[in-house]
Structure 1
């Protein structure tokens, strides 16, 4: 659907479903590469804890070692993992539950970020507050139409690609921003309800 490689292996998906691992992946996407010590300083965890979680992410193919820097052994996002998307597979037992777990954690993390921004909005420059939005929409669509819209939403930020890895590509005044979008049908009524 979106050009991403879909993973449905429950063990690989569960390896992602940990708040610190998601935080480490976020940092490595931004930094390009970092050692366990650098990650620990960024995320506020111990080096030992970061090292453990980095190794788990590597074990499941999400990270790989970058070129050694003296005594430092930095990590980076694995090339094969750069465009991964978790999707349940009805033929893979446990994949639906694993995807639900990861998706729930992701929504919670992103909602917490939005709440933090809103709590600090009075301290933000007005142009950043005015540039931000929280929008909802309700509409009727078929599964095919929803899938098409999902693909379009996933590509909304393509024009900003490359700015994380190459700071010189960022315009003056650019800040790290996020898009949180969910597209899903309303839950079906439960039987007997």
Structure 2
């Protein structure tokens, strides 16, 4: 992702809309507006901005002349934060903040509805953390290997599956 694309995504509503299109599949601006509590005009404008930057596209196989459907172009977005220059740090920070906020909302939504899941699902779920002492190259290797492991589990949905949010964060921690 370059700085121009990043600026196109670094907006709270755009991060949210793109996330919904990725997790729930194609939708119209009106459907998305109802889910996020915005007007369809607002969501439509933000969807066009996402399309301009290559994150979403019109799903021409659905709808009609009055109903415009949108779908995500990619399954996920990966950003290597070290590749952005000093003048790009503002949009990068805005985007990363929105991603972290979305992860927080997903985690708390699970906790709020945890009792509706079976013991098998709640026992398999995890909200955990750990602290490691690493050098930058070790953190890079850990990140690469974890992404490879996640790719091994990527497949189309099957009967009995539930969509699972996997949130991975690894960053140096400031010492108190």
TM-score range, shorter chain: 0.7 to 0.9
Counterpart for residue 118 of structure 1: 111
Aligned residues: 174
Deviation string 1:3-47 (CA, Å, 9 cap, x unpaired) is: xxxx231x4213222222122112222344332223334444321
| Contact 2:58 2:68 (8 Å CA) reproduced | yes
Mark the CA change 1:17 to 1:150 in structure 2 (over 3 Å): closer, same or farther: same
Counterpart for residue 162 of structure 2: 175
In structure 1, distance between residues paired with 2:22 and 2:84: 31
Shift in Å, 1:162:
4.1
In structure 1, distance between residues paired with 2:116 and 2:76: 35
Q: Which ranges in structure 1 are unaligned for 5 or more consecutive residues?
A: 1-6, 164-168
In structure 2, distance between residues paired with 1:114 and 1:84: 19
CA RMSD of superposed structures (Å): 2.5
Q: Which ranges in structure 2 are unaligned for 5 or more consecutive residues?
A: none
Larger relative CO (CA 8 A, sep 6+): 1 or 2?
A: 1
| Contact 2:57 2:72 (8 Å CA) reproduced | yes
Is 1:186 the equivalent of 2:166? no
Shift in Å, 1:60:
1.7
Q: Please, what TM-score do these two structures have when normalized by structure 2?
A: 0.82
More helix by share: 2
Q: Please, what TM-score do these two structures have when normalized by structure 1?
A: 0.76
